[in-house]
Structure 1
């Protein structure tokens, strides 16, 4: 019996490793797709915002959830739509981004508190969190790496370097950015073995 318990623990560890690697590979692929097709990504995220708002309308009309959860959900989707106006440029220091993150944290707190007091099936709670809370912020999180590849323009709000060279200013600021895709690229290059190319 002890040996079977050890095998069970090892099996769970292997499953967790494979699931983690699969999620990382999926996020890497999604981040590359968003960088390549930013207009399509904005279109998809806009529809995700509309679908999430429709989920909150359905919950408001057909379920007995408290009104403040719906109000926070509608406010969150409104903030997401405002964030999408400048997509793929997302400034983490802007008031709009901070308001969206603060509202998301408050919505999580209220939802955890409500579902902790009232009995719901675990699949219903997971459905609320995935479709009502997490899907749009997750899509926006994956699309943050697209901001690194936006072409420089002279109409940017930040001041250019003293010589007024747009390209050198863009490249100097780009080298200091950290994104989801750069993290996964670093992880891929440092963890996975690289094949050496043969020169003929």
Structure 2
């Protein structure tokens, strides 16, 4: 009985540590993207075209359904449209909203395809019938990780919300004497990635809950003392 209780506690702690590790990884990746925006743009362009090529190879050599494969390629064409204003994107952008919808539809259709367990009539009446080969768990997981989830996940980490950022360089107009306004010199803003915005929002939410229970934010308290 006690071992079952211990397993429940271990499962909860493992889930908490996994969630914190994922959030930390997303935060770190967002920092890297902010520092290396242009290499990230080139990488995403090449990754999208590479995955489109993988879909074509799977269609030709593994007999993947052409209609579903064509739909997946269409989704990647839509993903490609998000790169025109990379890394800045508006959360109300129709292309971004369409991309979010296509991610869910694409995942559902491929999950339904790999989960098809229908037994054809030939298997029951023809002893020489050879059933279609079913993909293994490793093959399905690899396909979903690379061809379904990778690019949407990378775009989520890389894009920056347009309503929450200012341009990276402040373009000030020059005065009549040719000098820039004094308050405009050296002004520089950095974009903030979507992943960081979501993580910061969740963190502030948990901070507010902690305050209800009497917990204090040590960093803010140190700032007040200084």
Partner of 2:167: 150
Cα pair distance change 1:114/1:187, threshold 3 Å: closer
Q: Which of the residues 137, 142, 145 maps onto 1:130?
A: 145
Q: TM-score scaled by structure 1?
A: 0.74
Matched residue, 1:107:
106
CA distance in 2, matches of 1:178, 1:41: 13
Q: CA offset at residue 128 of structure 1?
A: 1.5
Higher Rg of the two aligned structures: 2
Equivalent-residue separation in structure 2 for 1:24 and 1:70 (angstroms): 32
Distance in 2 between residues matched to 1:7 and 1:140, nearest whole Å:
39
Cα distance change on mapping 1:149 and 1:40 into 2, 3 Å: farther
Tell me, which stretches of 5 or more residues in structure 1 are unaligned?
155-166, 168-173
Distance 1:146 1:35 in 2: 13
Q: 1:53 touches 1:77 (CA, 8 Å); kept in 2?
A: yes
Give the structure 2 partner of residue 27 of structure 1: 26
The answer as to whether partners of 1:89 and 1:150 remain within 8 angstroms in 2 is: no
Aligned to 1:59: 58
Relative contact order higher in (CA < 8 Å, ≥ 6 apart): 1
Task: Give the conservation status (yes or no) of the 8 Å contact 1:34–1:41.
Answer: yes
Following TM superposition, by how much is the alpha carbon of 1:40 offset from its aligned partner in structure 2, in angstroms?
1.9
Q: CA–CA distance in 2 between the matches of 1:96 and 1:178? A: 18
Q: How far apart, in 1, do the equivalents of 2:46 and 2:202 lie?
A: 32
In 2: Cα distance, 1:27 partner to 1:178 partner: 10
Instruction: Looking at secondary structure, tell me which structure has more helix per residue.
Output: 1
Inter-CA distance 188–95: structure 2 relative to 1 (3 Å threshold): closer
Q: Does 1:180 align with 2:198?
A: no
1:75 aligns with 2:74: yes
| C-alpha RMSD over aligned residues | 3.1
Which residue matches 1:159? none
